[in-house]
Chain A
Amino acid sequence: MTQTATSHVIGQPLDRTDGPLKTTGGARYAAEFRPAGLCHAVMVLSTIPAGRIVALDTAAPEASPGVLLVLSHRNAPSLPKHGDAAFDPPAGRVLSLLQDDDVHYNRQPIAVVVADSFEHAVAAAALVHAQYERASPALDFQRERAHAHTPKDVNHAPPDKRWGDVAAGERVAEVRVDAIYTTPMQTHNPLEPHATVADWQNGKLTVYDATQYVSGVRDALAKTLGMAADDVRVVSPFVGGGFGCKGSTWSHVVLAAMAARQVGRPVKLVVDRTQMFGPVGGRPHTRQRVALGARRDGTLTSIRHELVAQTSQIEDWTEPSAVVSRMMYACPNGATSHRLVKLNIGTPTFQRAPGEASGNFALEVAMDELAVSLHVDPVALRLRNYAEREPATGKSFSSKHLRECYAQAAERFGWSRRTGAPRSMRDGNTLVGYGMATASYPAHRMAASARAVLQPDGTFVVQSGSQDIGTGTYTVMTQVAAETLGVPPAHVHFELGDTRLPPAPVSGGSMSAASVGPAVQAACRQLRERLVSLAVADATSPVHGSPSSAVTIDDGWMIVRDNPSRRETLAAFAARHRQPLEASAEAKPGDAKERYALHSFGAVFAEVRVDPELGVIRVPRVVAAYDIGRPLNLKTARSQMQGGIVWGVGFALLEETLLELRSGRIANANLAEYHVPVNADIQSIDVLFVDHPDYAFNPLGIRGIGEIGITGVPAALANAIHHATGRRLRDLPITLDKLL
Chain B
Amino acid sequence: MDANRLTAEGHARRRFLLGTASLGVVAHTPSLFAAEDAPLVASAHVERGALAPVRLQVNGRDYMLSLEPRVTLLDALREYIGLTGTKKGCDRGQCGACTVLVNDRRINACLALAIAHQGDRIRTVEGLAPHGALHAVQAAFVERDGFQCGYCTPGQICSAVAMLQEARSDTISAATQDVRQRGPIALTDAEIRERMSGNLCRCGAYVGIVAAVRDAATRST
Contact = CB atoms under 8 A, between A and B. Distances in A.
A–B direct contact (CB < 8 Å): yes
Q: Tell which of A24, A243, A469, A642 has the most Cβ of chain B within 10 Å.
A: A24
Contact of B75 (A66, A118, A471, A676): A118
A193 interface: yes
Interface string B33-68: 000000000000000010000000000000000001
Interface in A414-473: 469-472
B85 A470 contact: no
Contacts of B90: 273, 670-671
A190 B202 contact: yes
Given A117-B23, A642-B207, A680-B193, 9 more contacts: A23-B147, A26-B126, A27-B150, A116-B23, A191-B202, A192-B87, A241-B203, A642-B206, A676-B202
Given A241-B202, A273-B92, A685-B207, A470 B157 contact: no
**Top 9 closest pairs, chain A to chain B, by CB:** A25-B85, A646-B204, A240-B151, A470-B149, A22-B150, A470-B148, A643-B204, A19-B142, A671-B94
Nearest to A66: B22
A16 B148 CA distance: 9
A240 B87 contact: yes
B102 interface: no
Contacts of B70: 119
Contacts of B196: 679
Contact of B125 (A25, A32, A34, A672): A25
A635 B78 contact: no
B154 A25 contact: yes
Most chain B CB within 10 A, of A28, A189, A679, A685, is at: A679
A207 B209 CA distance: 33
Nearest to A272: B91
Nearest to A678: B197
A470 B150 CA distance: 7
B126 A24 contact: yes
A38 interface: yes
A432 to B, nearest CB: 18
Contact of A639 (B97, B138, B145): B145
A223 to B, nearest CB: 28
B32 interface: no
Contacts of B210: 679
Given A29-B151, A190-B149, A23 B157 contact: yes
Contacts, number: 191
Given A22-B153, A679-B196, A34 B203 contact: no
A697 interface: no
Nearest to A710: B204
A377 to B, nearest CB: 29
20 contacts: A15-B142, A20-B134, A24-B134, A24-B138, A26-B85, A117-B79, A120-B22, A190-B149, A191-B95, A191-B97, A192-B87, A272-B91, A273-B92, A273-B94, A469-B149, A639-B145, A639-B148, A680-B175, A683-B189, A685-B207
Contact of A18 (B92, B126, B150): B150
Interface string A114-149: 001111100000000000000000000000000000
A639 B87 contact: no
A111 interface: no
A267 interface: no
- Counting chain A CB atoms within 10 Å of each CB, the highest count among B75, B141, B153 belongs to B153
Given A22-B153, A25-B86, A680 B92 contact: no
B141 A23 contact: yes
Given A27-B150, A65-B49, A682-B207, A191 B94 contact: no
A238 interface: yes
B71 interface: yes
A559 interface: no
A23 B134 contact: yes
Interface string B92-122: 1011010000000000000000000000000
Contact of B92 (A20, A639, A670, A682): A670
B204 A682 contact: yes
A399 interface: no
B172 interface: no
A552 interface: no
B21 interface: yes
A636 interface: yes
Contacts of B128: 24
B91 A241 contact: no
Contacts of A241: 148-149, 151, 202-203
A25 B124 contact: yes
Among A25, A66, A680, max chain B CB count under 10 A is at: A25
B87 A191 contact: yes
Interface string A588-604: 00000000000000000
A67 interface: no
A164 interface: no
B172 to A, nearest CB: 15
Nearest to B191: A680
A647 interface: yes
B7 interface: no
A652 B205 CA distance: 18
A331 interface: no
A642 to B, nearest CB: 5
Contacts of B9: none
A207 B94 CA distance: 29
A159 interface: no
B75 A671 contact: no
B152 interface: yes
Given A22-B150, A642-B207, A635 B145 contact: yes
A645 interface: yes
Contacts of A676: 200, 202
Interface in A322-363: none
A15 B145 contact: yes
A372 to B, nearest CB: 30
A239 interface: yes
Nearest to B126: A25
Interface string B140-173: 0111010111111110010000000000000000
**Residue with the highest number of chain B CB atoms closer than 10 Å, among A189, A190, A270, A671:** A671
A51 interface: no
Contacts of B79: 117-118
Given A190-B149, A191-B97, A16 B89 contact: no
Q: Of residues B23, B70, B126, B207, which shows the largest number of chain A Cβ atoms within 10 Å of its Cβ?
A: B207
A40 to B, nearest CB: 8
A249 interface: no
Contacts of A683: 189, 193
Contacts of A685: 207
Nearest to B24: A34
A670 B94 CA distance: 8
A108 interface: no
A117 B49 CA distance: 12
Contacts of A39: 23
